[in-house]
Copies of this chain bind each other. A is one copy, B any other.
Amino acid sequence: MYDLNTLGRKAKSASRILAVTGTAVKNAALLAAADALLAHMDEILAANSRDLEAGKAAGLRESLLDRLALSPDRIAGMAGGIRKVAALPDPVGQLVEGHTLPNGIQLSKVRVPMGVIGIIYEARPNVTSDAAALCLKAGNAVILRGGKEAFESNKAVTKVMREALAGTGLPEDCVALVEDTSRETATALMRLNKYLNVLIPRGGGGLIRSVVENATVPVIETGVGNCHVYVEQSADVQMAADIVFNAKTQRPSVCNAAESMLVDAAIAEKALPVIAEKLSAKKVELRGCPETCRILPSAVPACEEDYDTEFLDDILSVKVVSGVEEAVAHINAHGTGHSECIVTGSYEAAQQFTDGVDAAAVYVNASTRFTDGEEFGLGAEIGISTQKLHARGPMGLLELTSTKYILRGNGQIR
């Protein structure tokens, strides 16, 4: 059995040092790590080639191989990502609130690091440097457990980063990779409560369900998005078509892409053909309710399951609804609480939708594709939380911190 305890103990001990390390030192370490990725590009590319060869031999899909592949440009992008994190404001030490208690104790609530953050992810080696940089900037040690397909690449990237940290005087154990990709070790990591303060899974639905099911460490659930665009009867049809087209087709493989469209019966005859015509340019398959199929002969009948499916592909489920109330109820029953949109000209409908829909991001007349840390102005993101505890929606540096109360007295007793 792989020795996670030693890894955890070292990370915890590194986190104690990192928690009291100033911003300037953390930034210098991040910039050194970015430089080191560029300086060791050949070594990283060679490791990546080994992953790619093994992946080809194992018959990985072309799309997976593409996600796995590094290039000088992609490594430069990873270094650039680390530099961007270094340039962000440091959340640690922020005074969140404070007041003096009636007994004279001065209470303040300050932002502190989480401690040790675990990240479980799949095949993209760029997540390794991204996640490590964000955790480190927020004062946390990180334990990374990437997919086995990217194991050699992840080893090379973390080795280079660890050496760079050590070179600037920080403990190399601020960034640790679990050098065993077995399922048993992943499960053990999910139960490493003694050392891990939080665990963030980044990946597909299967990975996230497995973490939620097995973890005893506090988890932030991320990323599954069954997102809807609802075309209300007062919508501008052209705007609706543009938003649905963008939300569905601009990048179908991501969690904030639309998977389902709801259309008011009162506007369906007029809107559906215009929207379908627009989507036909990208050959989007429409899976519709009986009313949709009646209006659009090109649509195929949807089954119940289609309304619960995150296709991540050029497929859109479609349903004709009676109005806002049915739309909100459908979304709350079938959505995953990620990003939901209404296209409308009605003030009342917009209010009813934003009040009633239970999701991380609720849009009026804008594409669901904007749910993203960078777009929201957070600088960078570690993932998009679809749970309600701790963080909801795109998570930036702030969401990688906790708080601590400090109480300064002069002998008060109760």
A residues at B contact (CB < 8 Å)? 16, 19-20, 99, 101, 103, 105, 107, 112, 114-115, 193, 197-198, 212-213, 216, 218-221, 236, 239, 242-243, 245-247, 250, 332, 350, 354-356, 358-367, 369-371, 375-377, 387-390, 392-393, 402-414
Contact = CB atoms under 8 A, between A and B. Distances in A.
Given A19-B358, A377-B99, A403-B392, A365 B220 contact: no
Given A20-B356, A407-B364, A370 B198 contact: no
A175 to B, nearest CB: 20
A43 B162 CA distance: 67
B246 A362 contact: no
A364 B409 contact: yes
B220 A411 contact: no
Given A20-B355, A247-B413, A361-B405, 10 more contacts: A198-B388, A198-B389, A358-B404, A360-B404, A364-B407, A364-B408, A366-B410, A369-B414, A371-B405, A388-B402
Contact of A362 (B115, B359, B406): B406
A364 B112 CA distance: 18
Nearest to A403: B392
B410 A365 contact: yes
A220 B198 CA distance: 12
Contacts of A19: 358
Contacts of A389: 114, 197-198, 218, 220, 389-390, 402
Contacts of A360: 404-405
B220 A376 contact: no
B218 A370 contact: no
A377 B366 CA distance: 41
B362 A404 contact: yes
A367 B412 contact: yes
